Amino acid sequence: MKKLLFTLATCLFALSLTASTSIAISSASNIDGIHQNTNTPGAAALKFIKMMQGKVAADINLLYSVELEEVYSLYEQATPELKKTLDAAMSEAGQEAVRALLGEMPEISGMQCSVLKETISADGKTAVVKLKLTLEEESSAKDLPLIKHQGKWKVDVDKL
């Protein structure tokens, strides 16, 4: 169920990325400089795109869903050795989903992405990141909802 949720969320977002390409904005920056820092909504959003492109390992800790609450709780209680095993299993399952997505939509891997705007709610618990996505000569802007969970910004899968 969790793997299906991850795959579905990724596919839905990817479809929304390629659905409209009508906004022309100045040049986009590449996301290759983004590493593990997800302390800002923009950094988490860029890492999510990079994960979808298969450029970084799949990371369930970058996604939030009410359905995953139980998984997060169990994960926090796991021993370091078990966490390592679970991380490897989730990464493998996530990479399979990304490979399937790239097989269906190869244009995702060549997409350039930059943050146009971060909007954090007054309570600091949610955010919306407006991304500029560029493929070849065409650009579009898309909003990505995020939520702060366990001190980290995560893509709110339930709102995709």
Boundaries of every domain in the chain: 2-159
Residue-wise burial string across 12-51, b where 16 or more C-beta atoms lie within 10 A, e elsewhere: ebbeebbeeeeeeeeebeebeebeeebebbbbbbbbbbbb
pLDDT, residue 4, reads: 41
How many CA atoms does the CB half-sphere of 124 hold within 13 Å? 5
Helices within 20-157 (DSSP H only): 41-52, 69-77, 80-104
Architecture of domain 2-159: Roll (3.10)
pLDDT, residue 38, reads: 52
pLDDT, residue 85, reads: 87
- Which residues in the chain land under pLDDT 50? 1-36
Between CA 43 and CA 35 the distance in angstroms is 8
Count of Cβ atoms closer than 10 Å to residue 131 Cβ: 23
